[in-house]
Structure 1
Amino acid sequence: MPGAPRLDEHSFVGNLLTTDSVPAHRRREYWREALSRTFGAVDISVPDGVYSGTIRTASLGGLKVTKVDGDPLEARRTPRLIAQGDEDEYVVVKLVSQGVARLEQDGRDIGVRPGEVFIYDMARPVRLLFPQCFQTKSIVLSRQVLGLCESDLRQITASPLSSDTPLGGLLSVLLSRLADTAGSHRPYAREVLARSVVDLLNVLADEQLGRISEGTPSGDAAMLLQIRTFIGRHLADADLTPEVIARAHHISVRYLHKIFEGEGITVSRWIQSRRLEACRQDLLHREAANRTIAAVAHRWGFTSAAHFSRVFRAAYGMSPSEYRDTHRP
């Protein structure tokens, strides 16, 4: 927009965004753009004369780790902003390390204290309020990497995880350490750490969704989490089959089917459901309006556009083109 400040070289050094060297009259717009670049487009409001903020970012495999220090603010991701961008492919896992926060999403309105972790989804409207100076440490990751369907994701957003619980405490410490050290790890270590983070998030999600019981064999549960993560990372590969998955995990196809029995779905159906969800999200993107249905299908591993249309209709009650015309903002 004309006259808007840009994130230029005098204020951006490596993985650092800060208002320190920005003139006071430009800081509000600069800070809005810095937050949007990091987490996705947001509308922010801040008290008059309060524009101070610093964002440190580092990559961790396919994840993004951030540490934010800022003055009081309110950030909203509105349907208008969601329709304009592609950030709705991402989920944010955030630790409040200093200050307090308030989060609204999916009909829930929660208060978050220091040491608590919460999750929000960029695909749906969200309001985040920091009434005082704050520090947060976050991980931004793809919905496909997390491997949760839409209905499951809606159940775990805006549900704070206390550091007093075993898994919540582990995630809180891990997030804090990663935000402080992510940029210092070697590439191989970053990949290993990223896999560990995703596995832990899957365990937390399964616990919140009631999928883990005391009778679940620990070895099967751990292998299932690894496989679901693997499927999320290779969803676009048309050659992703039970045989490929079993070989990648050094197990038999028979054992692979066995550990999926508790999910009430076959491996192939699980892959198909994740692909359908990814396609459904693509169909909602405004910038994909000129992309053919076949192109959307092929992007996520469907080799036949006709087959994709049939299974999409069976899952969502209408054809892909009808869904796009009906639901796109």
Structure 2
Amino acid sequence: MLNETVFRTEDLPGADRFDYWCERIGRTHAPLDLYSAYAADYQAHQRVLELGALHVWPTTHQSLRYRRTPKLIRQSDPEQYHIGIPLHGTNRISWGNERAVLGAYQIQVYDSSRDVEVNCTNGADLFSGIGIEIPKRLLHLPQNSMDRLFARGMSGREGFGALLIQFLTQLVSDTSCYLPSDGPRLGTVLVDLLSSLFAHTLEADRALPPETRTRSLVLRIRAHVQNNLHDPGLTPTTIAAAHNISISYLHRLFQGEHETVAAWIREQRLERARRDLADPALGSNTIHAIATRWGFTRAADFTRAFRNAYGMPPRDYRQRALLSPAQASLAVSLSTPCQ
């Protein structure tokens, strides 16, 4: 599991909760002035995931107003950007003479060196979102360009924004499959996604290093494949055409991924089919229907590929996967030779 810390106000006496929450946010992000109408018995939950030099923190809390003041900036400036992504709720933002109202799935950038006031609210319900803290030195865009993104909403429902939120939501939903040593690797992926989103928004892709553009392209290709596994016509040729690159360049990209494009597509399709075969809710679906759903048009090809991947034909796998625990235990005992 990744290095992770968890904070819940419910673990504290009611009168102490808001003060501890303020201290917690000050350590996670930067010192802030905070106010809430619910301060007398505040409800908040935060997890902080360490991804090398980056920190990702999914949070749920009652309505809150915070301000990063010039005085606090002079006292302490971690020289980092804060990326705020509301999932349920709205941010009302004020800085200088400017105002903005940004809602769910709008990705926002704040600078620890600039004063700002943000009112996070979801009415009487809990506000939820994901925050990211990233040192400025890790982004490959000049400061004057980043200033143009300050408190500007970028859509998290399409393009690079959707890729970013897909990555984050999958990451925070289950960290059990990662080791602490995976944190910096995941941090690199996150930096590339953020850099690509910002550069795309600024129309400044040429400011990105070639290796970042390459990793970003591979991420886009993988997302395209995941969204089109059902299409039997999904091939290296159609993938290359969809991304305006040559087939030879596509293959070179995947040489760095230690697998061919076709092999990865087949692996993803088989894994989706395997999950469906083991799902009791899909027990009435024929094996052929499941195979077709994931792009296998020929039953013989699917059976052969499945057996090679999982050591048994799909029918046998399904029968074993759908056995009750008692039936599975009996099957194992019957298949074990007597000593």
Distance in 2 separating the partners of 1:221 and 1:79: 31
Counterparts of residues 167-178 of structure 1 (less than 5 Å): 167-178=160-171
Give yes or no for the alignment of 1:96 onto 2:89: no
Cα gap change, 1:183 to 1:67, in 2 (>3 Å): farther
CA contact (8 A) 2:89 2:103 kept: yes
* Partner-residue secondary structure (3-state), 1:147: coil
Deviations 1:25-47 (A, max 9, x none): 22221111111111110110000
Paired AA for residue 225 in structure 1: T
Give yes or no for the alignment of 1:145 onto 2:145: no
* Partner-residue secondary structure (3-state), 1:20: helix
Paired AA for residue 19 in structure 2: E
Count of residues in Structure 1 that have an aligned counterpart in Structure 2: 208
**Partner in structure 1 of residue 66 of structure 2:** 75
* Partner-residue secondary structure (3-state), 2:137: helix
CA contact (8 A) 2:141 2:208 kept: no
Task: Indicate the RMSD between aligned Cα atoms, in angstroms.
Answer: 2.5
Paired AA for residue 141 in structure 2: L
Give yes or no for the alignment of 1:22 onto 2:9: no
Deviations 1:4-41 (A, max 9, x none): xxxxxxxxxx6011211222222221111111111110
**Partner in structure 1 of residue 112 of structure 2:** 122
The CA deviation at 1:94 is 1.9
Equivalent position to 1:65, from 56, 67, 74: 56
Give yes or no for the alignment of 1:225 onto 2:212: yes
Deviations 1:50-95 (A, max 9, x none): 51111111101221111111001101110111111132x1111122
Deviates more, 1:43-52 or 1:65-74: 43-52
Paired AA for residue 93 in structure 2: L
Distance in 2 separating the partners of 1:157 and 1:21: 35
TM-score, normalising length: structure 1: 0.58
Distance in 1 separating the partners of 2:52 and 2:175: 10
Counterparts of residues 295-310 of structure 1 (less than 5 Å): none
Cα gap change, 1:199 to 1:66, in 2 (>3 Å): same
CA contact (8 A) 1:42 1:81 kept: yes
CA contact (8 A) 1:61 1:187 kept: no
**Partner in structure 2 of residue 54 of structure 1:** 45
CA contact (8 A) 1:74 1:129 kept: yes
Distance in 2 separating the partners of 1:174 and 1:108: 31
Give ranges in structure 2 of 5+ residues lacking alignment.
215-339
Distance in 2 separating the partners of 1:186 and 1:86: 31
Counterparts of residues 206-225 of structure 1 (less than 5 Å): 206-212=199-205, 223=210, 225=212
Paired AA for residue 212 in structure 2: L
Give ranges in structure 1 of 5+ residues lacking alignment.
1-13, 228-329
Distance in 2 separating the partners of 1:205 and 1:42: 25
Distance in 1 separating the partners of 2:136 and 2:119: 24
The CA deviation at 1:156 is 1.0
Paired AA for residue 118 in structure 1: Q
Cα gap change, 1:167 to 1:106, in 2 (>3 Å): farther
CA contact (8 A) 1:65 1:182 kept: no
**Partner in structure 1 of residue 225 of structure 2:** none
The CA deviation at 1:106 is 6.5
TM-score, normalising length: structure 2: 0.56
Distance in 2 separating the partners of 1:202 and 1:38: 22
Paired AA for residue 93 in structure 1: I
Cα gap change, 1:98 to 1:42, in 2 (>3 Å): same
CA contact (8 A) 2:58 2:130 kept: yes
CA contact (8 A) 2:88 2:104 kept: yes
The CA deviation at 1:110 is 2.0
The CA deviation at 1:123 is 0.9
Larger Rg: 2
* Partner-residue secondary structure (3-state), 2:65: strand
The CA deviation at 1:183 is 6.7
State the 4+ residue runs in structure 1 displaced beyond 6 angstroms: none
The CA deviation at 1:147 is 3.1
Distance in 1 separating the partners of 2:77 and 2:163: 31
The CA deviation at 1:202 is 1.3
